[in-house]
Amino acid sequence: MRTRRIIAIVLAFVSLPAVVLGLIDPLEGGIALLVGIALIGAVWALSRVAPPKLLWISLVATVALGAITLGLAMVSGPETEAGTVGNPVLDQPLVSLLWLWRAGIVVVLAGGIVYLVRLFRSLREPADAATERVP
């Protein structure tokens, strides 16, 4: 069981750069965030240490926020000559949503670090205690 936890810790370290790549924007960063989610799922399956609420709630909220941002960007209209979105009504909400997206990614990163600390602490516990612990 200790070997599985060590592998899970390595995967958790790999997932953190994927989450940081999510800072780009919801389109390219959303793909990196989905890779990070898959890696966190693999970490949980290997280690059986529950992710903290800070991590999974912020992940769900950030993915939903990214979907809303992408949806608004698709209906915003054609670009003008200056390369900006042509709909002035939707310009400000999109910029605001992009900054909220970035703030959500920072919270996800903080949750990932908390999860990593929780994984390191689980190495000292017996195998039965880690599977029975409820966050």
Q: What is the pLDDT of residues 63-107, one digit of tens each?
A: 898 888 888 877 766 555 555 555 555 557 777 888 888 898 889
Instruction: Provide the residue range defining the domain that includes 116.
Output: 2-132
Instruction: Quote the longest CA-to-CA distance of the chain.
Output: 63
* Cα gap 2→128, rounded to integer Å: 11
CA 94 to chain centre: 20
Per the CB < 8 A criterion, the answer to whether 54 and 110 are in contact is yes
Q: What is the domain count for the chain?
A: 1
CA 38 to chain centre: 10
User: pLDDT confidence of 118, banded at 50, 70, 90?
Assistant: very high
Q: What is the pLDDT of residue 110?
A: 93
State the pTM of this model.
0.76
Q: Is 52 helix (H, G, I), strand (E, B) or coil?
A: coil
Closest CA to 116 of 58, 49, 18: 49
